[in-house]
A and B are shown apart, each in its own frame.
Chain A
């Protein structure tokens, strides 16, 4: 049986950030990085670009074999975690492999969550979470003419754009009344929708699929939507069946404290599988976005190696950048996707002709959220201003007029 000091299960951003943090302090103790995939580590975020052909599958690796050799990391491929016995320090993988560990990080990510639609089991459909999914979708696009996408989140909209650019007729079905709900309000979404409609994509908002038959989806309003290719992009959720009987507490994800520790002493969790505290609201949730996976992975790795530099996770902040048809949208923080909340102060600049949109939300002279379409912002600075709850009263007018330059000024000062 293989044994190691550190076992990291999952080789995407959280797992890699943890491995880096561990190797920063402890260059030698045995470290095994296990991936259920057969590829070198890659980011799920790159997959839409693999589908579009902008990224070559063989050039998406975030680490190389040479890197693992240099850092004395054992990289295991095709290792699907089956069960854990934390008391004995044992992780059991498929095909009968077991690994003994001193410390374990679960960074197993999430899997597509499939809607309960009658007939789903009888039709061929695609999801987009792994490299094999991406390559499968890319191949399927070659023989298909009409695509149906369920869900107008980041994966659905990215994939729809790719398929439209590849010359297919594309429809998106989304139960809510806009694209990218949660990140943008309806006005920002309208700018993005224009680009989609301009490229011939049919947006069916406020509707859902009632049933599926091979080649046809029947919507809840009775409309038949024929398709050659069906992509389901209705969100992801952690797949945690391997924790059955492990004693590790879960809710929607693996419950962790602000140092990414689970309820068991030698087990940490980070990234899309972890349920963490939220910075801008009460309670906990699964953050499910790349920058949060990086933060959490790093904190978990630091904890596993007893790095004195470890700082607790301040809480997840909603953050995203979204490129569509050569245009850019940015979403940072809260209060920007719906109506104004009481006590907040909002600046909205919307120019339909110029296709620009900016919404800044402040509360008690502190930044709550910012969203923009085709309006340059430094999201990293805005994130810091939210986390630091920087008092903007001295520069408020300037900030509202020009958040980019003023943000740079503030961070240049705060850094010293």
Chain B
């Protein structure tokens, strides 16, 4: 059994308009006015707030366990709890099992009824104006890519909670075996990807260039393959230090020449595997071992270089930012970047919060990734010379920046004026990015 798609309901933004119930009633009975036929029930909760009775398609569904007729079954392929009208005897014992009022009997309907997600295309979600109802299909990504071969060795020695390891495994699953990987010094080779104890860390050709020459070595290899008539993906898995500091010259040159490379930068805002030193990508105010907090210094004094913006200014074939929280967005961008790298230079910037270096619990990496995006600390967008910049996540209703800064130890010392400066910087940067939208 894999992961399943699911309907979601966000009570805090539901307007109670009832469109979902009309759409459901229409889909199930042909008559939008038959609210009794709706399998999603929005109930008023007072103060203009609403709640919902909606089938969770439980993993260990009690309605199924309580059914004496075998009429209810958990569908192992879709995850939906299926109801079989032929077998149902209308004993209503399923309604005893459900704690959410989601499989119900209405005498006007004549049998029990529950949500079947309209076969994976729920009518209610399509008409939801507020966005309170959602249909999360991310599960299919894990199911599909879970079947692909993991091209890194098991047991890489990344720190607990590191999402870079997760993401490089995803990337190679998608890119496949026909690849040559450059992994310059940084956390990614540090965790053993290029090899350890005389064993290879990856099941594909992988090499360890100098920090300074990653993009130029990879470009040379790619050109050699092209001369041989071989279509091999040239992939760099670099850190922010290797990309934006010493490796920047070769990166900028390769982008300017339009080398057919896919360059992935995992941005953990510093040199984390060598002792958490600051890089040019380290954000303002961050504690690092080279920007300490003391009497004179209160963390990093300069703003981070925004490398994805810089790469956009190279007019590369494809430039995008992505986060491991929004995997559908990430895979869409990876596909586009892969395609673009066949004709030109593609650059993908992945935000990689570091529990060890940033000081937050290893269990919270994904939450930090989410807060980072939802507070507009970073924004998700993509750029091509043809389309200009397109935001791929809305930026108009950010969560308070403080909710993000407070989650991370490296910002614990920040004074209000430092927070204000970060706010101003983020606003200015967003305004600047918006000017690239056509």
Which residues does A use to contact B, with CB under 8 Å? 13, 16-17, 20, 24, 42-46, 49, 54-55, 59-62, 290-291, 294, 298, 319-321, 323, 328, 330, 332, 374, 376, 378-381, 383-384, 404-409, 411-413, 415-416
Q: Which residues of B contact A378 (CB under 8 A)?
A: 53, 95, 98, 101, 104
Q: Looking at the assembled complex, report how far the CB atom of B115 sits from the nearest CB atom of chain A, in whole angstroms.
A: 14
Cα–Cα, bound, A46→B41 (Å) = 30
Q: Looking at the assembled complex, report how far the CB atom of A61 sits from the nearest CB atom of chain B, in whole angstroms.
A: 6
Q: Which residues of A contact B51 (CB under 8 A)?
A: 408-409, 412-413
- Residue from B87, B98, B100 within 8 A of A412 (CB atoms): B100
- Which residues 35-90 of B have a CB within 8 angstroms of A? 41, 43-45, 51-53, 60, 62, 65-66, 68-70, 86-87, 89-90
- Which residues 110-135 of B have a CB within 8 angstroms of A? none
**Please, could you name 24 A-B residue pairs with CB atoms under 8 Å apart, sorted by A?**
A13-B65, A20-B65, A45-B68, A46-B68, A46-B69, A49-B89, A59-B70, A323-B89, A328-B107, A330-B92, A374-B107, A378-B98, A378-B101, A381-B99, A381-B101, A383-B99, A404-B101, A405-B41, A408-B41, A408-B51, A408-B100, A409-B44, A409-B51, A411-B99
Question: Is B98 a contact partner of A323 (Cβ separation < 8 A)?
Answer: no
Tell me, yes or no, whether B106 is within 8 Å of chain A by CB: yes
- As a 0/1 sequence over residues 348 to 362 of chain B, the CB contacts with chain A under 8 angstroms (1 = contact) are 000000000000000
- Residue from A62, A408, A416 within 8 A of B101 (CB atoms): A408
Question: Is B96 a contact partner of A291 (Cβ separation < 8 A)?
Answer: yes
Tell me, yes or no, whether B17 is within 8 Å of chain A by CB: no
Question: Is A413 a contact partner of B45 (Cβ separation < 8 A)?
Answer: yes
Question: Is A59 a contact partner of B92 (Cβ separation < 8 A)?
Answer: no
Q: Which residues of B contact A328 (CB under 8 A)?
A: 92, 105, 107
Q: Looking at the assembled complex, report how far the CB atom of B231 sits from the nearest CB atom of chain A, in whole angstroms.
A: 42
- Residue from A61, A298, A376 within 8 A of B105 (CB atoms): A376
A411-B53, A413-B45 given as contacts; is B87 within 8 A of A321 (CB)? Answer: no
Tell me, yes or no, whether B91 is within 8 Å of chain A by CB: yes
A61-B70, A321-B91, A404-B101 given as contacts; is B65 within 8 A of A412 (CB)? Answer: no
Question: Is A411 a contact partner of B100 (Cβ separation < 8 A)?
Answer: yes
Q: Looking at the assembled complex, report how far the CB atom of A56 sits from the nearest CB atom of chain B, in whole angstroms.
A: 9
Q: Looking at the assembled complex, report how far the CB atom of B103 sits from the nearest CB atom of chain A, in whole angstroms.
A: 8
Tell me, yes or no, whether B11 is within 8 Å of chain A by CB: yes
**Residue of B52, B53, B96 with highest tally of chain A CB at under 10 A:** B96
Question: Is B45 a contact partner of A380 (Cβ separation < 8 A)?
Answer: no
Question: Is A376 a contact partner of B106 (Cβ separation < 8 A)?
Answer: yes
Question: Is B43 a contact partner of A319 (Cβ separation < 8 A)?
Answer: no
In the A-B complex, the 7 residue pairs with the smallest Cβ-Cβ separation, listed nearest first, are A43-B68, A412-B51, A321-B92, A45-B68, A378-B101, A408-B53, A380-B98
Question: Is B91 a contact partner of A45 (Cβ separation < 8 A)?
Answer: yes
Cα–Cα, bound, A169→B151 (Å) = 74
Question: Is A43 a contact partner of B107 (Cβ separation < 8 A)?
Answer: no
Cα–Cα, bound, A182→B65 (Å) = 25
Question: Is B104 a contact partner of A409 (Cβ separation < 8 A)?
Answer: no
Cα–Cα, bound, A384→B53 (Å) = 15
**Residue of A319, A332, A378 with highest tally of chain B CB at under 10 A:** A378
Q: Looking at the assembled complex, report how far the CB atom of B320 sits from the nearest CB atom of chain A, in whole angstroms.
A: 34
Q: Looking at the assembled complex, report how far the CB atom of B289 sits from the nearest CB atom of chain A, in whole angstroms.
A: 40
Q: Which residues of A contact B95 (CB under 8 A)?
A: 321, 378-380
Q: Looking at the assembled complex, report how far the CB atom of A309 sits from the nearest CB atom of chain B, in whole angstroms.
A: 10
Shortest Cβ distance from B97 into A: residue: A380
Tell me, yes or no, whether B93 is within 8 Å of chain A by CB: yes
Cα–Cα, bound, A407→B95 (Å) = 13
Q: Looking at the assembled complex, report how far the CB atom of A71 sits from the nearest CB atom of chain B, in whole angstroms.
A: 12
Question: Is B69 a contact partner of A381 (Cβ separation < 8 A)?
Answer: no
- Residue from B52, B70, B99 within 8 A of A380 (CB atoms): B99
Question: Is A55 a contact partner of B65 (Cβ separation < 8 A)?
Answer: no
Q: Which residues of B contact A45 (CB under 8 A)?
A: 68, 91, 93
Question: Is B96 a contact partner of A319 (Cβ separation < 8 A)?
Answer: yes
**Residue of A411, A412, A415 with highest tally of chain B CB at under 10 A:** A412
- Residue from A17, A46, A60, A408 within 8 A of B43 (CB atoms): A408
Question: Is B104 a contact partner of A62 (Cβ separation < 8 A)?
Answer: no
Q: Which residues of A contact B96 (CB under 8 A)?
A: 291, 319-321, 332, 379-380, 383
Q: Looking at the assembled complex, report how far the CB atom of B324 sits from the nearest CB atom of chain A, in whole angstroms.
A: 25
Q: Looking at the assembled complex, report how far the CB atom of B438 sits from the nearest CB atom of chain A, in whole angstroms.
A: 41
Cα–Cα, bound, A24→B68 (Å) = 21
Q: Looking at the assembled complex, report how far the CB atom of B88 sits from the nearest CB atom of chain A, in whole angstroms.
A: 9
Known contacts A321-B93, A404-B101; 15 additional CB pairs below 8 A are A13-B66, A24-B60, A45-B93, A49-B89, A59-B70, A291-B93, A291-B97, A294-B62, A298-B65, A321-B91, A376-B107, A409-B44, A411-B99, A411-B101, A412-B43
Q: Which residues of A contact B60 (CB under 8 A)?
A: 20, 24
Cα–Cα, bound, A17→B101 (Å) = 22
Cα–Cα, bound, A44→B69 (Å) = 10
Q: Which residues of B contact A13 (CB under 8 A)?
A: 65-66, 68
A380-B62, A412-B52 given as contacts; is B97 within 8 A of A60 (CB)? Answer: no
Cα–Cα, bound, A57→B69 (Å) = 10
Shortest Cβ distance from B73 into A: residue: A62
Cα–Cα, bound, A383→B95 (Å) = 10
Question: Is B11 a contact partner of A412 (Cβ separation < 8 A)?
Answer: yes
Question: Is B45 a contact partner of A416 (Cβ separation < 8 A)?
Answer: no
Q: Which residues of A contact B97 (CB under 8 A)?
A: 291, 294, 380
Cα–Cα, bound, A319→B99 (Å) = 14
Question: Is A381 a contact partner of B89 (Cβ separation < 8 A)?
Answer: no
Q: Which residues of B contact A59 (CB under 8 A)?
A: 70, 86-87
Cα–Cα, bound, A49→B93 (Å) = 14
- Residue from B53, B66, B105 within 8 A of A291 (CB atoms): B66
Q: Looking at the assembled complex, report how far the CB atom of B91 sits from the nearest CB atom of chain A, in whole angstroms.
A: 6
Q: Looking at the assembled complex, report how far the CB atom of B210 sits from the nearest CB atom of chain A, in whole angstroms.
A: 49
Question: Is B91 a contact partner of A323 (Cβ separation < 8 A)?
Answer: yes
Q: Looking at the assembled complex, report how far the CB atom of A60 sits from the nearest CB atom of chain B, in whole angstroms.
A: 7
Q: Which residues of A contact B104 (CB under 8 A)?
A: 376, 378
Q: Which residues of A contact B87 (CB under 8 A)?
A: 55, 59
Cα–Cα, bound, A384→B102 (Å) = 14
A408-B51, A409-B43 given as contacts; is B99 within 8 A of A384 (CB)? Answer: yes
Q: Which residues of B contact A407 (CB under 8 A)?
A: 101
Cα–Cα, bound, A376→B101 (Å) = 11
Q: Which residues of A contact B44 (CB under 8 A)?
A: 409
Q: Which residues of A contact B107 (CB under 8 A)?
A: 328, 374, 376
Q: Looking at the assembled complex, report how far the CB atom of B342 sits from the nearest CB atom of chain A, in whole angstroms.
A: 44
Cα–Cα, bound, A179→B202 (Å) = 73
**Residue of A17, A24, A290, A416 with highest tally of chain B CB at under 10 A:** A290
Question: Is B92 a contact partner of A17 (Cβ separation < 8 A)?
Answer: no
Q: Which residues of A contact B90 (CB under 8 A)?
A: 323
Q: Which residues of A contact B41 (CB under 8 A)?
A: 405, 408
Q: Looking at the assembled complex, report how far the CB atom of B426 sits from the nearest CB atom of chain A, in whole angstroms.
A: 31
Shortest Cβ distance from B96 into A: residue: A379
Question: Is B69 a contact partner of A60 (Cβ separation < 8 A)?
Answer: yes
Shortest Cβ distance from A43 into B: residue: B68
Cα–Cα, bound, A17→B67 (Å) = 12
Cα–Cα, bound, A412→B40 (Å) = 12
Q: Which residues of B contact A17 (CB under 8 A)?
A: 65
Question: Is A416 a contact partner of B11 (Cβ separation < 8 A)?
Answer: yes
Q: Which residues of A contact B91 (CB under 8 A)?
A: 45, 49, 321, 323
